[in-house]
Structure 1
Amino acid sequence: MQTTRYPNLRIAALAVLFMASGGCAAQPAPSTPPPVAASPIPPAPPAPPPPGAEPGPLADAAAITTTQGTVSRFLTNPDGDVDGFMTDDGTLVRFPPHMSTQLTSAVRRGDVVQVIGRRDEGGSFAAQRITDTRSGQQVIDEPPMGRAAPLPRAARGEGLSRLSAQGQVAHVTTAPRGEPDGVILSDGTVIKLTPPVAQQFPGLVRTGATVSAQGYGTRNQYGTALQATAFGSPGNLTPLYDRNAQMP
């Protein structure tokens, strides 16, 4: 029975469908539009990277640029570390202070260097690789060796000296977002300010202005730098902090 029953059912079903289609052909067009074919399901978006995942070294390669120039002077921070230099064309090159010893061992004043890195919003050059074209030695920005925590600011400040400086502004330094945070005088002295303090002296924190400062810092063979506690024009210094407040 099963061998003949299902074929008959199939034939009957086909007949019904044939008749229905013929009847539909004789009827006027339906008033409702035919159903729209379903669009294919779009592929799922790629899964986000896991938390803390770092991009590859070339993820933002488009932002990397190269410059070349002659080292005209080294620059220091108030703790006495070399953390930058000026080139003969006025470019300010910055690098982390933990590279200080390595950089001064590989590069000398007057050397021509090639620098690979990024320009920040203030125009300074944040170096990732510095190559001395004379010797071929390279200094690469890498995390400092070891896991020792840096000394607290108060402990590092114990070795600072009270310094004063005066001269003409040759360069205005900036924070990563481009806001002024200090000046470099024509003799290479670095006067560090905080961005809020620098904004209080728009007429002085600019190239060509003559300024004076007092504060705490270091003077060594590579230069002089101080964190200002008083700033202004010669003979007209403005105290920046309360005497009982901790120096930034």
Structure 2
Amino acid sequence: MHWIDPACLPETKGTLTQFLLNPHGEPDGFILDGQRQVHFPPHLGTHIVQRVGPGDTVTVRGVRPRTANIIAAVSIAVGDGETLVDEGPHRDDDRHKRPDVEMYAAEVTGTVILSLHGPKGELRGALLDDGTSLRMPPHAAEELRAYLTPGARVQAWGGMVENTHGHTLDVSEIAEQADPHSDADADAGTGA
């Protein structure tokens, strides 16, 4: 997005509720006012988390796909007036280096409060009521859309990544959560 002039883009201001992590443990977005996803490229993640945190007011300029409630950020202005602009990865970096992160097998249950999307609006997962983000490839997410819709009660298994900025489950299987008040088992899940 570095070729777009942020000054020509619409501005959205709000309170950062929580960060979102990709399955590599890198911040690649946040939730604004508890209801809108903001996506930024992982190469900006370290700079953003050093300057802003949950509860802070931010102003985002970016593009919004037609099909999803997400802003693909081109610039983010933080409370002290500093503006972070996506200029693309720095040329002096040979490659974006992924952090060393440990992933462990985990199972989570919860209610979906927000569907999560990629920067072009493609469905990629969901945010649960406990703050856990579920992530999966777009083709799998599209097939499992019913499990990733707000209000769905789900149980998911996969690899968990956690750090000081959040926690994400790279989903390998997902199913409708069984009603804890009945003897019925969870519906047959499907792989992601």
TM-score (norm 1): 0.65
For the 8 Å contact 2:4–2:74, the answer to whether it is kept is no
Residue 81 (str. 1) matches residue 32 (str. 2):
no
What amino acid does structure 2 have at the position aligned with 1:90? Q
Give the one of 132, 137, 158 matched to 2:78. 132
Segments of 5+ residues of structure 2 without an aligned counterpart are: 178-185
Rg larger in structure = 1
User: For residues 92 and 81 of structure 1, what CA distance do their matches in structure 2 show?
Assistant: 16
Aligned pair 1:212/2:163, yes or no? no
Cα separation, 2, equivalents of 1:157 and 1:196: 27
Q: Structure 1: how far apart are the matches of 2:46 and 2:75?
A: 15
Contact 2:12 2:59 in 1 (8 A): yes
Q: Supply the distance in 1 between the matched residues of 2:3 and 2:28 (Cα, whole angstroms).
A: 26
Write the distance in 2 (CA, Å) between the matches of 1:113 and 1:56.
22
Residue 141 (structure 2) aligned to one of 198, 205, 211 = 198
User: How many angstroms does 1:111 deviate by?
Assistant: 0.9
CA 1:177/1:100 → structure 2, altered by over 3 Å: closer, same or farther?
Answer: closer
Query: Are 2:180 and 1:229 aligned?
Result: no
1:171 is matched with 114
CA RMSD of aligned residues (A): 2.6
Most deviating of 76-85 and 157-166: 157-166
Which residue number corresponds to residue 100 of structure 1? Answer: 45
Structure number with the higher strand fraction is 2
Larger fraction in helix = 1
Going from structure 1 to structure 2, the CA distance change for 1:143 and 1:196 (only over 3 Å counts) comes to: closer
User: What secondary structure is seen at the aligned counterpart in 1 of 2:69?
Assistant: coil
Q: Is the 2:12–2:61 Cα contact (8 Å) retained in structure 1?
A: yes
- The 8 Å contact of residues 43 and 89 in structure 2, kept in 1 or not, is answered as yes
Q: CA deviation at 1:197?
A: 1.8
Amino acid at match of 1:232: A
1:57 shift after superposition: 4.5
Q: Match for residue 24 of structure 1?
A: none
Is contact 1:198-1:205 (8 Å) kept?
Answer: yes
Distance apart, 1:217 and its partner CA: 3.4
